[in-house]
Structure 1
Amino acid sequence: MLLSLKWLREFVPVEAGAQEVGDRLTMLGLELEDILHPYDPIKDIVVGYVLTKEPHPDSDHLAVCTVDAGTGEVLNIVCGAPNVAAGQKVPVALVGTTMPGGMVIKKAKLRGVPSFGMICSERELGLSEDHSGIMVLPEDFKVGTRLVDALDLDTEILEIGITPNRGDCLSVLGLAREAALAFKLPLTLPDVRVAEQGADWSSDWSITISQPELCPLYQLRLVEGVTIKPSPMWMRHRLHAVGVRPISNIVDVTNYILMELGQPLHAFDRDKLEGGRTEVSVARDGERIVTLDGQERILTPADLLIRDGVKPVALAGVMGGLDTEISDASRNVLVESAVFRPETIRKTARRLALPSEASYRFERGVDQINSRFAMDRAVSLMAELSGGVIRKGACTQEPRVWTAPTPRFRVRRTVDLLGMDVEPAFCADTLERLGCGLDRADEADWKVTTPSWRSDLSREVDLIEEIARVKGMDTIPETLPAVSRPLDRFGLTESRYAFLSRVKAWGCGLGLNEAENYSFVGHKDLDHLGLPKEGRIDIINPLTEEQNVLRTVLAPSLLQNVRTNIAHGNMGVRLFEVANVFAADPASQTTAHESARLGLVMYGSLSDTAWPNKETDAGYADVRGLVEHFVGFLHLHAPVFVRDEAAHPFLAPSVTVTVDGNPVGVIGQVKPQIADAYHARKPVWLAELDLEALWERHKKAKIAFKPLAVFPPSRRDVTVIAPASLSVADIEEHIRKMRIAILEEVTLIDLYEPKDSADRNLTFRLTFRKADRTLKDAEVDKEREKVAQSLIKNLGVRI
C-alpha cells in the first residue's frame, strides 16, 4: 500500500516525518518497506514567466521566448510548443537540470538562436502522457518557486506492507486510524455534503440480488449533466504519486475514493444501460462478457455478474464491462458502491488472471457501513469536478444487514496470555481508540462491540492481540514457561516422537550430518535402483515430474544428497536421515502404510579436509561400526551380519542385519554402475534400518547394571585363512559359542584377499578379562590356542 504523507495529514495532524511515521506503523505490525520520492526527478524544475514570444527567424514551428525564471536575469529559450504564449506561467528546466528521462539540459543553438533552458510539457516532466503542448500553470504561482512546492505535490510516499487480515489498512483512512492510534491523535474524516436536486429517481430503478450471501449490499446513485474532462492538477498528481494512472474526472474520482477510503466503486454510463433495473446474480456456464481491457471473458457459475435489464455490464468486484464504460460522450453517470463475498471475487480474479485494485480489496473484505459514506463522497466530488447534478435518492438493496460481533474481554485472561501485567484502564482506552464499544457492567468480563472496518476482530484472543500490538510486542518480557513433569509420568512408555528425537541426537552426537529430504522422489529414481513397482504410491498433483511418487526406501534421497555434496566439492560425506517410507496398503484408512527408517550413507574421506590426518576412505567396517554402535545405544543384543548377495537389488556386497534372529535392516556398498549416476568415483556405503522393529525391541529391553571393570584386559590376535564362502559372522558365532569364561569380546580388525586365491586372511582380536584379578599371560595364551584349534577342527580353516 502506497501512503502519501501529505494525504495522511489531511486525516491526522501528525507532525512527525516519514521515517518516524513508518517506524510507528511498523511497531503496530504494518511494516515500512520503503520511502519513495516520486517527484525527485523534477525537484530542480522551477516556475517561470514568459515575458515575450517571437517567431523563430529560421523556422515555421519554433518560437523564441524570453523567460523570467527567478534567477535575476532574463533567459532566452527556444520552444516548439504550439500553445506557448506571452504572459503564461510555465515549468522551466534551467541549464544543468537532469530531466526524468536522463537528458541533461545544456546551452544550445537551435537553428542559430541560442537557448538557455527548456519549457516543459507534462510528459517531459513525467506527470502524464500529454505532450500536445507545454504545461500552463495557474497565474498565482510565484516565479522562481520549485515546481513541486508550487503544485504542493505529494513528495514523500510510504510503502507499507499489509498482511492479508488487515484489509482495512488498504486505504489512507485505514492507515490514518493506525497513525492516530500510534500518536494518540484525533482522526478527522472528509467533510461530505451531498447537494441533491430534482425528483427522487430511485423509484424508477430496481435492484435484484438473487443470492444475498454473495452480495450483502448493493447501491446506486445518479449524477446527471456531467462533462468528461481531465481532473484538476491536485487530483491527477496525487493519483500519480500513489501509482494510479489518471484517466478522466469521473473515473479518477472512483480511483481516488478507492485509495482514500478503501471502497471500490464503479461508474456506468447511464445512457448505455437498458431495462431500468440492475440484477446481481451468478453467470451462466459459458456466458461471455467483454471487460474494460477489451478482452472477452468466458464465465462459469462460480463468477458473479452485474446485469442490466438486457445484458451483462460488469464482472462483480473485478472489472467493468466495455459496453457501458465512461467515454467523452457520457453525460449521465450511475455510480455503484457494493459489498461482495470475498471468496467469490478471489476465485474469479485468480481463474481469469485478472487482478485489480478493486478485487484486491474485495478479496480481503470491505467495510459495509463505510460504503455509504464512500458513495456520498464520490458523487459530491463528481458533481464538483464535472459540473453535474446529483439526483435525489439512492437505489439500495441490503438483504444482509451488517451486525457487529460482540466478543467478551477479560483483563485477567489478557495478563495470562501475554505473561505481563496490563492495566484495565490501558485496555479500555486502547479498545475505545480502536473504535470498539465497551460494556463494562461486569468489571471482570467486558462485552465488546467491534467496529465495522475490523472484520478480523471476532474473538477474545483477537482483542488481546490488539492490546499486545498497541502495548508493544517488544515490551513483553522474555520468560520461559515452566515445564513440569508429574511423578506419575515417570516409567511410562517413551513416545514415538521422543524415540525418533533420541535417534537424531545419537546421529548428531557421532558427528554425522543430518539430512532432511522431501518424501517425494521420481519413479525413475526407484527404477534406477531396481526396486519393485508394486506398493508404490503415485502423487496425484506432484510438485514436479521428478517428484511424482512417495519413496519406498530412503536410498534415492540419500544418494541425491551424495551427488549434491560431490558437486559442491565435498569429498567426505557422512549423513544420516530419520524419516518415513511409504507402501500401498488397501487395508489402511489412508491406503498407505508408513514406517520410520534410519538411513546412513558414507562416501570418501572419513575426516574433514582441514583435519591434519592421513586421508582414509570410508569402508564396510565403518558403516558396520555405526550400526553396531546404534544397536548398542538401544541396549539390544549384538547384531548379526549375514552376507546375502541376492537380498538386495542395488547393494553388492549386501549384508542383512538381524537382532535376536529378526531382520532389522541392510548394509552394503551401492553397486558401482548405480553409484556412477550420482557422480560417485569412490565406493558409496549405505545402511537402512527399520526403526519400527528396533523400537519394539527397545521397549522390551531390560537394562542391567554391573560394576565397571577394574582390572586391565589382555588381547590376543588370531589370523585364520578361510575360504571366501565362510562368513565372518560364522567364525565369530563359533568363537562365542565356545563360551570361554574370560573371553569378553571378539572383533574383526583386518581382512586381506590375496590375488589369484579363493581364500581370505581374517584377523580377529580376542579380548580377555577377569573381574577379580589380573590375568596371566600363560592362561590367556592357553585360551587363545584353544580357540585356534577349535576353528581348525570345526571350520576347516588354517591358522
Structure 2
Amino acid sequence: MLLSLNWLREFVPYEGSVDTLADRLTMLGLEVEGVSRPFAATADVVVGHVLTREKHPDADKLSVCTVDVGQGEPLQIVCGAANVAAGLSVPVARIGTVLPGGLTIKKSKIRGVESFGMICSESELGLAEKSEGILELPAGLKPGKTLAEAMNLDDVVLEIGITPNRADCLSVLGLAREAAMAFGLPLTMPSVHLKEDGPDASTLVSIRIPEPELCPVYRARIIRGVEIKASPAWMRYRLTAMGQRPVNNIVDVTNYVMLELGQPLHAFDRNLLAGDYIEISRAAEGTRFNTLDGQERVLTTRDLLIRDGAKAVALAGVMGGENSEISDRSTEVLLECAVFNPATIRKTARRLGLSSESSYRYERGVDQPGSLFAMNRAAALMAEVADGRVLPGIAEAEPKPWKPSPIGFRPAKAVSLLGIELSNDFCRKTFQGLGCEVELKSADAWTITPPPARQDLEREVDLIEEVARVYGMDRIPAAMPKMLKSLEVPDRLGAEVPFMGRLKTWACGAGLRETVNYSFVGQQELDLLGLPGEGRVPVANPLSEDQNVMRTELAPGLMKAVRHNLSQGNATLRLFELAKAFTADSASETTVREAHRLGIALCGARFGSFPWPEEKVDYSDLKGLVEQLLSSLGLSGAQYAVQKDHPWLSPCVQVSLDGRVLGVMGRVLQDVADSYEAKAGLWMAELDAEALMALHQHRSIRFRGLPKFPPSRRDVTLVMPSTLSVAEVLGAARAHKAAILEDVAVHDLFEPEGATEKNVTFRITYRHAERTLTDKDVDKAHAGLCDALSKALPVRFQ
C-alpha cells in the first residue's frame, strides 16, 4: 500500500518528519518498506509567466517567448508548442535543470535565436504518459515558485507492507486512523457536498440478490449529464504518485475514492445497461465474459456476476465488462458500491489469474457501513469534476445488514498474558483510538465493540494483541516463562516427547526410512480403505478436494508415499511414519481426539539390491519388526491373533499385550494395493504409539550380573501337528519351572508340502548361576522338560 504524506495530512494534522512517521507505523505492525519522492525530478522546475510571444524569424512552428521566472530579468525561451501564448502560467526548466527523462537543460541557439531554458509539457515532467503541447498552469501562480509547491505535488510517498488481516489499512483513511491514534491527533473525514436534482434513483433501478451470503449489500447512484474528459491536475497527479494510471474523470474518481477510503467502486455507462434492474448472482457453468482488459473469461458456478436485464456486465468484485465501460460518449453513470463475500472473490481472482486493486480489497473484507459514505463521496466528486447532476435517492438492497460483534475484555488477562503492567486508562484510550466502543461493566470486565472496518478483531486475544501493538512490542521485555511444575515430577507431555523420539530412533536403526505426510486426506481415500464415515473430521476450508478431511489412520499417507516411490523406480521400500490420527470426539475440549500412531510399510525385495536369491518381503519380515520393537521397549508376552473382516488388510493379525490392543499388521488387500501401484504386494502395520508408551512406562527395569559360568545347549526336534502353533510349545516349555532352564528358542522348521505334521527344532539353553553344570545335571533337567512337553502337548520326539 502506497501512502502520500500530503494526502495523509488532509486527514491528520501530522507535522513530524517522515522518518518518525515511518518508525512509528513500523512499530505498530505496518512495516514501512520504502520511502520515495515520485516527482523529485521536478524539484528544480519553477512557475513561469509568459510575458510575450513572438513568431520565430526563421521557423514557422517555433515561437520566441519572454518568460518571468521571478528572478531578475525575464528569460528568452524558444518554444515549439502550438498552445504557448502571452499571459499563460507555465512550468519552466532553467539552465542546469535535469528533467525526469535525463535531459539536462543547457543554453542553446535554435535557428539563430538564443534560448535560456525550456517550457515543459506534462510528459516531459513525468506527470503523464503522453501530452500535447505545454502544460498550462492555473492562473495567478507566483512566478519563481517551485512547481511541486505550486501544484501541491505529493513529494513523499511511503510504501507500507500490509499483513492480510489488516484490510482496514488498505486506504489512506485506515492508515490515517493509525497515525491519529499513535500521535494523539484528531481525525478529519473528507467533506461530502451533494447537490441532488431530478427523479428519485431508487424508483429507476431495482436490485436483486438471490444469495445474500454472496453479496450482503449492493447500492447504486445515478449521475446524469456527465462530460467525459481528463481529470483535474490535482487528481491526476495524486493518482500517479499512488501508482495508478489516470484514465478519465469518472474512472479516476472511483480509483481515487478506493485509495482514499478503501471501498472499491465501479462506474457503468447507464445507457449501455438493459432493463431497470441489477442482479448479483452466480454465473452459469461455461459462461463466457469479456472483461475490461479485452480478455474472454470462461466462468464457473463459483464465480459471481453482475447482470442487467439482458446480459452480464461485470465480474463481481474483480473487473467490469467491455459491454458497459465508460467511454467518451458516456453521458449517464450508474455508480456501483457493494460488499461481496471475500472467499468467492478470492477464488475467482486466483482461478482466472486476474488480480485487481478491487479484488485485493474485497478478498480481505471491506467496511460495510462505511460503503455508503464512500459512494456519496464518489458521487459528489463526479459532479464536481465531470459537471454531472446527482439524482436523489439510492437504489439499494441489503439482505444481510452488518451487525456489531461485542467482545469481552479483561485488563487483568492482558497484564497476565503480556507480562507487563498496563493501566486501565491506557487500555481504554487505546480502544477508543482504534475506533472501538468501550463499555465498562466492571473494573475487570469490559465489553469492546470493534468498528466495522476492523474485521480482524474477533476474540479477546485479538484485543490484547492490539493493546500490545500500541504499547510497543519492542518495549515488552524478554522473560523466561514461569515453571509451575517441578522438574522432578515428569508429566505426560514431558514423557511423550522423548518416547516418540525413541520410536523414531528405533525405526531408523531397524533400517526404515521416515515419511512425513499431510494430516489432510480425501474422503475418497478413506472410502477406498473401507474406513467408517463416523468420526471423520472435515476440513472447513480445504486446499483441494483430495485434502478435505483429517486422516483417521496413517495408512492413506503411507500408501501415497509407496506409490510415489514406485513411480520413481524405487521398488524396495521400508517406510515408517510417526504422526497423529484424528477422530471426532464431542467429549474432547477441541471436539477432536488426536492419537499418536506408528505406521510401517514394507514392499519389494527382502534383501534390496544385493545379489542374493530374489525373495519378496512377507509376514515374517513385518512381524519380526514388530517383535523387535516390543523387545526394545522391554515388552514381552504379546499375543497375536487373526482378525477377520478388517477393511483393508487380509490376512490381518491383531497385536495385543496385557489385554490392551496395540494395533494390527498384515497384507494390504490386493485391489487396494493395486490402486497405489503396489502390484507385488504391500505389507503394513499400524500401532498405537500411546498404548506402547503407557505399557513401557509401567515396565520396571531390572539389572542382573553377567553370567560367570558357561551354558550347556541341547537341540531337540519335535514332530507336531500342523495346527499346533510354535508359540504354544514355547509357552509350555517356559512354564516348566526347571531351576537351570535359561532359554528356549526355535532353531529350525520343516513342514512338508501337503503334510499334516511339521518338524520343529528347538535349542534349549541350561545354565547354573553359581557353578559349572555337569552332564548329569543337564540330562536330568532335559529329560524332565521333554517329559513335560509330551504330557502337555500332542508331540513326539524325533
With the length of structure 1 as denominator, give the TM-score of the two structures. 0.67
Secondary structure at the residue paired with 1:14? coil
Deviation at 1:165, TM superposition (A): 0.5
Task: Tell me the distance in 2 between the aligned counterparts of 1:648 and 1:298.
Answer: 54
CA contact (8 A) 1:539 1:548 kept: no
Q: In the alignment, is residue 82 of structure 1 matched against residue 82 of structure 2? A: yes
Task: Tell me the distance in 2 between the aligned counterparts of 1:279 and 1:545.
Answer: 53
Secondary structure at the residue paired with 1:255? helix
Deviation at 1:546, TM superposition (A): 10
| 1:683-722 correspondence to structure 2 within 5 Å | none
| 1:557-576 correspondence to structure 2 within 5 Å | none
Secondary structure at the residue paired with 1:158? strand
* Number of the residue aligned with 1:295: 295
Which amino acid in structure 2 is aligned with residue 23 of structure 1?
Answer: D
Task: Tell me the distance in 1 between the aligned counterparts of 2:111 and 2:493.
Answer: 98
CA contact (8 A) 1:198 1:391 kept: yes
CA contact (8 A) 1:537 1:550 kept: no
* Number of the residue aligned with 1:134: 134
Task: Tell me the distance in 1 between the aligned counterparts of 2:214 and 2:492.
Answer: 54
* Number of the residue aligned with 1:55: 55
| 1:487-636 correspondence to structure 2 within 5 Å | 489-490=489-490, 495-499=495-499, 537-538=559-560, 552=573, 594=598
Cα offsets for 1:15-72 (capped at 9, x unmatched): 1111111111111111111111101111111112223222333333222223233342
* Number of the residue aligned with 2:480: 480
* Number of the residue aligned with 1:333: 333
Which amino acid in structure 1 is aligned with residue 559 of structure 2?
Answer: I
Which amino acid in structure 1 is aligned with residue 209 of structure 2?
Answer: I
Which amino acid in structure 2 is aligned with residue 649 of structure 1?
Answer: G
* Number of the residue aligned with 1:649: 608
| 1:93-104 correspondence to structure 2 within 5 Å | 93-104=93-104
* Number of the residue aligned with 2:65: 65
With the length of structure 2 as denominator, give the TM-score of the two structures. 0.67
Task: Tell me the distance in 2 between the aligned counterparts of 1:648 and 1:541.
Answer: 20
* Number of the residue aligned with 1:470: 470
Task: Tell me the distance in 2 between the aligned counterparts of 1:541 and 1:176.
Answer: 55
Task: Tell me the distance in 2 between the aligned counterparts of 1:429 and 1:593.
Answer: 51
Task: Tell me the distance in 2 between the aligned counterparts of 1:26 and 1:36.
Answer: 16
Task: Tell me the distance in 1 between the aligned counterparts of 2:144 and 2:427.
Answer: 53
* Number of the residue aligned with 2:249: 249
Unmatched 5+ residue regions in structure 2?
A: 507-512, 519-555, 581-592, 614-620, 631-686, 706-798
Q: In the alignment, is residue 146 of structure 1 matched against residue 146 of structure 2? A: yes
CA contact (8 A) 1:519 1:550 kept: no
Task: Tell me the distance in 1 between the aligned counterparts of 2:24 and 2:162.
Answer: 14
Q: In the alignment, is residue 221 of structure 1 matched against residue 221 of structure 2? A: yes
Q: 1:341 to 1:74 in 2, by over 3 A?
A: same
| 1:386-465 correspondence to structure 2 within 5 Å | 386-465=386-465
CA contact (8 A) 2:562 2:573 kept: no
Q: In the alignment, is residue 378 of structure 1 matched against residue 391 of structure 2? A: no
Cα offsets for 1:411-440 (capped at 9, x unmatched): 122122112221222222211221111222
Task: Tell me the distance in 2 between the aligned counterparts of 1:548 and 1:293.
Answer: 47
CA contact (8 A) 1:196 1:391 kept: yes
Task: Tell me the distance in 1 between the aligned counterparts of 2:69 and 2:10.
Answer: 32
Cα offsets for 1:302-330 (capped at 9, x unmatched): 11111111111111111111111111111
* Number of the residue aligned with 2:199: 199
Task: Tell me the distance in 2 between the aligned counterparts of 1:548 and 1:145.
Answer: 76
CA contact (8 A) 1:536 1:550 kept: no
CA contact (8 A) 2:572 2:608 kept: no
Secondary structure at the residue paired with 2:371? helix
Secondary structure at the residue paired with 1:93? strand
Secondary structure at the residue paired with 2:448? strand
Cα offsets for 1:727-759 (capped at 9, x unmatched): xxxxxxxxxxxxxxxxxxxxxxxxxxxxxxxxx
Which amino acid in structure 2 is aligned with residue 417 of structure 1?
Answer: L
* Number of the residue aligned with 1:726: none
CA contact (8 A) 1:536 1:552 kept: no
| 1:706-745 correspondence to structure 2 within 5 Å | none
Q: 1:545 to 1:120 in 2, by over 3 A?
A: farther
Q: 1:548 to 1:390 in 2, by over 3 A?
A: farther
Task: Tell me the distance in 2 between the aligned counterparts of 1:596 and 1:27.
Answer: 49
Task: Tell me the distance in 2 between the aligned counterparts of 1:550 and 1:341.
Answer: 48
Task: Tell me the distance in 2 between the aligned counterparts of 1:370 and 1:489.
Answer: 57
Deviation at 1:487, TM superposition (A): 8.1
Q: 1:17 to 1:549 in 2, by over 3 A?
A: farther
After alignment, is 489-498 or 353-362 more displaced?
489-498
Moved over 3 A (4+): 484-496, 499-506, 515-520, 534-542, 544-554, 578-582, 592-597, 650-654, 659-665, 695-707
Q: 1:238 to 1:484 in 2, by over 3 A?
A: same
* Number of the residue aligned with 2:280: 280
* Number of the residue aligned with 1:36: 36
* Number of the residue aligned with 2:21: 21
Q: 1:322 to 1:442 in 2, by over 3 A?
A: same
Which amino acid in structure 2 is aligned with residue 33 of structure 1?
Answer: E
Deviation at 1:594, TM superposition (A): 4.9
Task: Tell me the distance in 1 between the aligned counterparts of 2:704 and 2:471.
Answer: 59
Which amino acid in structure 1 is aligned with residue 456 of structure 2?
Answer: D
Task: Tell me the distance in 2 between the aligned counterparts of 1:34 and 1:185.
Answer: 24
Task: Tell me the distance in 1 between the aligned counterparts of 2:344 and 2:625.
Answer: 62
Which amino acid in structure 2 is aligned with residue 195 of structure 1?
Answer: K
Task: Tell me the distance in 2 between the aligned counterparts of 1:312 and 1:293.
Answer: 16
Task: Tell me the distance in 2 between the aligned counterparts of 1:73 and 1:662.
Answer: 104
Deviation at 1:269, TM superposition (A): 0.9
Q: 1:218 to 1:502 in 2, by over 3 A?
A: same
CA contact (8 A) 2:574 2:600 kept: no
Task: Tell me the distance in 2 between the aligned counterparts of 1:90 and 1:262.
Answer: 35
Deviation at 1:204, TM superposition (A): 2.4
* Number of the residue aligned with 2:211: 211
Q: 1:485 to 1:94 in 2, by over 3 A?
A: same
CA contact (8 A) 1:209 1:215 kept: yes
* Number of the residue aligned with 2:183: 183
CA contact (8 A) 1:551 1:581 kept: no
Secondary structure at the residue paired with 2:441? coil
Task: Tell me the distance in 2 between the aligned counterparts of 1:414 and 1:504.
Answer: 40
Which amino acid in structure 2 is aligned with residue 366 of structure 1?
Answer: V
Deviation at 1:287, TM superposition (A): 1.3
Task: Tell me the distance in 1 between the aligned counterparts of 2:174 and 2:341.
Answer: 20
CA contact (8 A) 1:493 1:699 kept: no
CA contact (8 A) 2:517 2:557 kept: no
Identity %: 53
Task: Tell me the distance in 2 between the aligned counterparts of 1:162 and 1:132.
Answer: 38
Deviation at 1:157, TM superposition (A): 0.6
Cα offsets for 1:671-720 (capped at 9, x unmatched): xxxxxxxxxxxxxxxxxxxx999x9999798767899xxxxxxxxxxxxx
Task: Tell me the distance in 2 between the aligned counterparts of 1:550 and 1:149.
Answer: 75
Which amino acid in structure 1 is aligned with residue 608 of structure 2?
Answer: P
Task: Tell me the distance in 2 between the aligned counterparts of 1:388 and 1:190.
Answer: 20
